[in-house]
Amino acid sequence: MAIRMPRIIQARQILKRSLSNGGSTPASMDIPKGHFAVYVGEQEKKRFVVPVSILSEPRFQELLHQSEQEFGYNYPMGGITIPCSEDLFTDLTSGFGVF
């Protein structure tokens, strides 16, 4: 557990930075409490709303790390952008209540 904790903290920091860049835009108004939006795709980006609880998932943390490597903390879509296929993302997030 002690090994995973720093990655969870890092994932939360990434989320906080992303939210502080986005502000209160109309797109962020339709996100339920306890969720956040991510943009997924290699070419075309599709928006998904995911629960905050997914931040503790090691596979999701790895995607966040890949996103950090590619984009840093300056996300082109205004929210967290994850550079993977939609199919991979949906497989990874099945069971987490992603919409």
The pLDDT tens digits of the residues spanning 8-20 come to: 666 666 666 555 5
Nearest partner of 64 among 80, 77, 52, 75, judged by Cα: 80
For residue 79, tell me if it sits in a domain. Answer: yes
pLDDT (mean) for 62-87? 82
Q: Across all residues in the chain, what is the average pLDDT?
A: 77
Instruction: Extract the runs of DSSP E, i.e. beta strands, from the chain.
Output: 35-40, 46-51, 80-82
| Distance (Å, whole) CA 58 – CA 8 | 8
For residue 24, tell me if it sits in a domain. Answer: no
User: Helix, strand, or coil here: 42?
Assistant: coil
For residue 29, tell me if it sits in a domain. Answer: no
For residue 66, tell me if it sits in a domain. Answer: yes
pLDDT (mean) for 70-86? 79
- Beginning with the edge strand found earlier in the chain, give each strand of the sheet holding 80-82 in spatial order: 46-51, 35-40, 80-82
For residue 1, tell me if it sits in a domain. Answer: no
For residue 57, tell me if it sits in a domain. Answer: yes
Domain with 60, as residue range(s), is: 37-96
pLDDT at 47: 92
Q: How many domains does the chain have?
A: 1
* CA atoms within a 13 Å half-sphere pointing along the CA-CB vector of 27: 13
pTM above 0.75, yes or no: no
For residue 18, tell me if it sits in a domain. Answer: no
For residue 64, tell me if it sits in a domain. Answer: yes
